[in-house]
Chain A
């Protein structure tokens, strides 16, 4: 039995790059990219904005979430042509120079980033939530990031971080202790 490669017939056409104009994090970029390349690929490979991650390439994991005119979008399922004239925000555009966005501060402080690979996508999904709904309930938060997989944390630290950012992170923050005694009680024996 003879097989060609991994069993897929046909050869791709020669690569033809096209010029695309993108608005990303407040700046206009003109990039030469293959027309079939996704927004994710163009951001990472052409613009060097590697903060946006690839995790599954099929729109399942949410690691590639960016905001397009404020709405969370999976950049692995989006072509640059679809966002022409629209404002794309990536994780690199979240902080105001040295000043972190409250979500970034809360994620760093609450242990919401372990390996951190899901973090950029989580942050963008959470920003869209808080922009639309500054005082979300637990259920609102769960729905907002239900499309973002995290393999490290078990999610608790993530929604505690979102809750902290939502409440301004100050003394008035409502701790989201769910059932019973809370997250941890240590004892010495």
Chain B
């Protein structure tokens, strides 16, 4: 039975425009850093310049004298001793006698002007007793390493055992791999505005990925009941995982409560590098065994993830790295040890594809090594072993509702190749290429001489939604109402719009489910139940699912009303004399908790993608130009094809960044490049054309079959690009990002530790 007399535009499956598109192009969309209240104060943070030190004294006397300074808070002024942290509350709100990373917050200031707050920070005198940094995560796991936290330096330790963990094989390849620290580099730095309320509480307007998780960390730290702390989503200038963790949330609220004035905090770029968590750097030690026909026999791996000074989401990253360590392949036997360590490096946490990204770089390099050892085509080898529905991954969980990965690989391989061959100046009759299009670009470093082209493949996978028994829930309220201008719907959730387009998805689902074109998406806040985080590629599945469920309840109520009144369903104006509103809490089916050896059926579903990359490499300078990336991804259902392609292209840009450009350079715990001058992000000149092949294999449990698409583009694009560089250069390239030296001189990254793949890294010996 239909409600609308004409077809409703902008429903599921259409590239409907974003509701926030016009405000964004007008410059009117209010990002967190744009918020302003008359009389508000400006907050600022004093941070430690040392990665590891004891704090002997903090003297704020001179700082307090600076004109305009309203309050300075150190740990002695905190209302509680509560700590914060995403999965483990291990981080002090302000350093308590010890700093564990360079950039740890020591004091916060509120002043009339931002300049005054900064001047006050400079006037605070801190007496440090410097301790040696512990920047090597493998050393930190050793039996003699001094403990950085009570309970030692192991944040989490996962062992995955599958089949015969000691299986032997005819053909064996080994490798050690390294993934450096990547920054999410959302273009909008962290910002928030805290406003004290009459009841002694506070309202925080904040750019975040998860309002309710923030609330759960903020309120205890303030010593307030949750009811007295209200969060409202402010405009978010990108997230990519960095906004899952608390940064300035508690600080801004503390300053507002202490001064009884609104306080805005807004990081600059340098502070943003120190203020938020980064992608976990990793060391990975792998061994693959296979039969001569290419059938995989076993994978053994030890993965060490550098969690930095505080745990954040390290335990989930450790679990993911272990779970996905063998890739989207049938591997009957495995032993994988995945461990996260505390160090005195900057804290690591969520970034797009966490855990899966690190493992994929290593296992796909291994698959290419194996293909070379077997003299097999890398795509054929992968396709022969690729999982499909019913196959079990190494945690014993079967794959369900997915396109066979072999199909993704074959489709990806069949996508059109870039047209241009590398032109060689010595080749008769062919002009040299425009240097702008060659590696080095405007540097004019080559006219085609010394350029080699290469192509590489990779496949990857990851879970969607929360896992391992976590109560994954999203709440939605949908209201169908009559207005002077017609019928419209309102939808309210706490799902954070971070750029990905969940606001559009919510509108499209309501339009299709209720056949009403005008849909208002209300500002997310904590007056409604949690939507969970905009992470784990989960909002379309979870909040999309919640909105769809709420729409179905609204529709059922409408049918009931129509029946009771003897009216037709499309007589909406008469039926909606009173609006219909329904709220739902929506969950995916329960997942099993982790156990000691398998992790069990820990995930609700998996996301798969394959990537092919083509690169030109200048062998003389070691510079790389990515010429094209092609991808086939199982998206389930493209609710908004334009937005899905946007996720694929944007995710590939970040994968390209990790492959050849992006690294937070650390030396003894110090960040050496906390600026966009020195931390290089892909520009439009670095970004190649992307050929996207959206494969729609619906998952039966997901709304309209839509699986979530955000992370796979970032997972296997990096190893595909590095495989292409290997193909062009013959170099080993066991580390990302690939640096010019690695190409020109064949530098190979070595951890300095000998670790038998699959063994406990705490038993590592110096190489």
Interface residues in chain A, defined as those with a beta carbon under 8 Å from any beta carbon in chain B: 1-8, 10-12, 14-15, 34, 44, 48-58, 60-61, 63, 90-92, 94-95, 100, 103-105, 107-111, 113-120, 123, 139, 141-142, 145-159, 178-189
Contact = CB atoms under 8 A, between A and B. Distances in A.
A159 to B, nearest CB: 7
Contacts of A92: 26-28
Interface residues of B, number: 96
A44 B67 CA distance: 23
A48 B36 contact: yes
Given A3-B125, A58-B676, A152-B238, A189 B407 contact: yes
B650 A180 contact: no
B444 to A, nearest CB: 14
Contact of A50 (B34, B236, B419): B34
Given A53-B237, A90-B27, A187-B696, A151 B119 contact: no
Given A1-B130, A117-B31, 9 more contacts: A1-B127, A5-B124, A57-B268, A123-B25, A148-B683, A154-B651, A156-B649, A183-B649, A184-B644
B186 A151 contact: yes
Interface in B654-685: 654, 675-677, 681, 683-685
A11 B65 CA distance: 12
A56 B273 CA distance: 11
B26 A100 contact: yes
B642 interface: yes
B693 A151 contact: no
B238 A111 contact: no
Interface in B83-138: 113, 115-116, 119, 121-130
B528 interface: no
Interface stretch (B217-225, B410-418, B730-738): B410-418
Contacts of B189: 54-55
A180 B188 contact: no
Interface string B206-244: 000000000000000000000000000001111110000
A185 B690 CA distance: 12
A185 B42 CA distance: 49
A90 B20 CA distance: 19
A2 B33 CA distance: 34
Nearest to B437: A139
Contacts of A120: 27
B47 A6 contact: yes
Contact of B646 (A50, A51, A104, A152): A152
Interface in B124-166: 124-130
A6 B270 CA distance: 13
Contacts of B650: 114, 151-154
Most chain B C-beta atoms within 10 Å of own C-beta, residue among A90, A118, A148, A180: A180
B49 A55 contact: no
A98 B694 CA distance: 37
B238 A151 contact: yes
7 contacts: A3-B125, A44-B34, A92-B27, A116-B25, A149-B676, A153-B649, A155-B653
A60 B27 CA distance: 20
B672 to A, nearest CB: 16
Nearest to B120: A5
Interface string B180-214: 00001111110000000000000000000000000
B692 A146 contact: no
B678 to A, nearest CB: 9
A2 B692 contact: no
Contacts of B237: 53, 115-117
Contact of A152 (B30, B499, B628, B693): B499
B250 interface: no
B696 A188 contact: yes
A186 B24 contact: no
A58 B269 contact: yes
B425 interface: no
A119 B22 contact: no
